[in-house]
Amino acid sequence: MFLGCTIDNTIYKTKYIRMLGGFPQLRVSGGVDTVLAKNILGRNLEWRVNFEAVSIHLRSSIMEELRHYYWYGICASELEGKKAMARILLISCYSPIRGVEVALKKRSLEIAFIYPAMRWTYTIGRVRGLKGG
């Protein structure tokens, strides 16, 4: 998320991507949307979000999902640098409590376990990404 913009599963208008010079070339594959959002907002354009759209990532197992969060953590280090590490650690430490809150609200016990696992997997990837992999 960048400046409150939803940047997941993005559908682009080609003419605007061309106007910005195309997709950014990054050393890592995660976070292209983050750079695009910065470019769009930097040109005083508007990033619009359709909150009615629903996207579901179907992965074959929880382990595949955790590998994805780990990978994204590694990629995030290049995109965001070291600036937010304390906040990331705080969120991860709080994640078991938040997981229970969401599990109760959504009436889904597995969220109490999956959410902290996802946060800690991302955090471990983030730390390893800072160290160079």
- Provide the mean pLDDT of the chain: 79
**pTM of the complete model:** 0.60
Q: Which residue has better confidence, 40 or 96?
A: 96
Q: For residues 38, 39, 44 and 46, what is the CA-based torsion angle, rounded to 10 degrees?
A: -70
Task: Determine whether 122 is exposed, middle or buried from the number of CB atoms within 10 Å of its CB (0-12, 13-18, 19+).
Answer: buried
Task: Determine whether 89 is exposed, middle or buried from the number of CB atoms within 10 Å of its CB (0-12, 13-18, 19+).
Answer: middle
Q: What is the pLDDT of residue 123?
A: 93
**Domain ranges within the chain, ordered by starting residue:** 1-56, 62-130
- What are 56-115's pLDDT values in tens digits? 666 788 898 899 889 888 877 666 656 678 888 999 999 999 999 999 998 999 999 999
Q: What is the pLDDT of residue 116?
A: 96
pLDDT tier, 9 (very low <50, low <70, confident <90, very high otherwise): low
**Does residue 15 register a pLDDT over 50?**
yes
